[in-house]
Amino acid sequence: MIAVISGDIIKSRSVDPKVWMPALEEAIGLYSDKFDIFRGDSFQAELTRQNALTATVYIKAAMLAYNLDVRIGIGIGTKEYDAPHIKNSFGSALTYSGEAFEELKKETIFFKSAYPKLDAVCNVILPLVAELTTRWTPNIAETVKAAFQNEGANQAELAKILDKKYQSQVSTELQKASYAKIQRALDYCTKEMLAL
């Protein structure tokens, strides 16, 4: 089984795509070597089940650093046909991802699989995670990105990476981001997914 995400940018006219597009490509590319960006603001990527949820929140952080946001539908399933471009492949993971994306109304993350109990759990937890991200400033989003990229780094190391004068700045921003709570939520959902 694989994970596929389908998403789009919630646009802000004040931000030039030349600025955020490389950041979007870099964010998706950190977790996937099979992705497409199309229509200028939509994307689809194949991921492992293990990193699908982390990648989703990381992509949100990457865009929130530019005062943008993303809507993402996550699908877990199989891939029956593997085309050179993910958008031309097909299988249940891609179908569920598309259906999850279509379900997005007021939420910015939705999850779909062949397992209704897993869907129910994830679709209670992930919208809460997404709600927490709406409180992030661009600085907080940058700190969260660095924490995801440098898993295992302590706050002093993150301060150095982010070129912040004090470690306490990193501590404050991660606290404001609810980073530890988000990590626990993502770990729980991922564990449930991998148990299938």
Per DSSP (E only), the strands in the chain are: 2-10, 35-38, 42-47, 69-77, 109-112
Q: Which domain holds residue 84?
A: 2-195
Per-residue pLDDT at 14 exceeds 80 = no
Answer yes or no: are the C-beta atoms of 9 and 62 closer than 8 Å: no
Facing residues of 10 across strands?
69
Helices (H), 32-152: 52-64, 92-103, 116-133, 138-149
Q: Indicate the number of domains in the chain.
A: 1
pLDDT of 135 over the 90 cut: yes
- Name the phi and psi angles at 38, rounded to 5: -140, 165
Given a cut of 70, whether residue 66 has pLDDT beyond it is yes
Predicted local distance difference test score (pLDDT) of residue 13: 64
CA distances to 42, 115, 144, 179 from 151, rounded to whole Å, are 28, 30, 10, 12
Mean pLDDT of 170-176: 96
pLDDT category of residue 87 using cuts at 50, 70 and 90: confident
Domain of 29, CATH number, reads 3.30.70.270
pLDDT at 53: 97
Q: Mean pLDDT over all residues of the chain?
A: 93
Mean pLDDT calculated for residue range 153-175: 93
pLDDT at 11 over 80: no
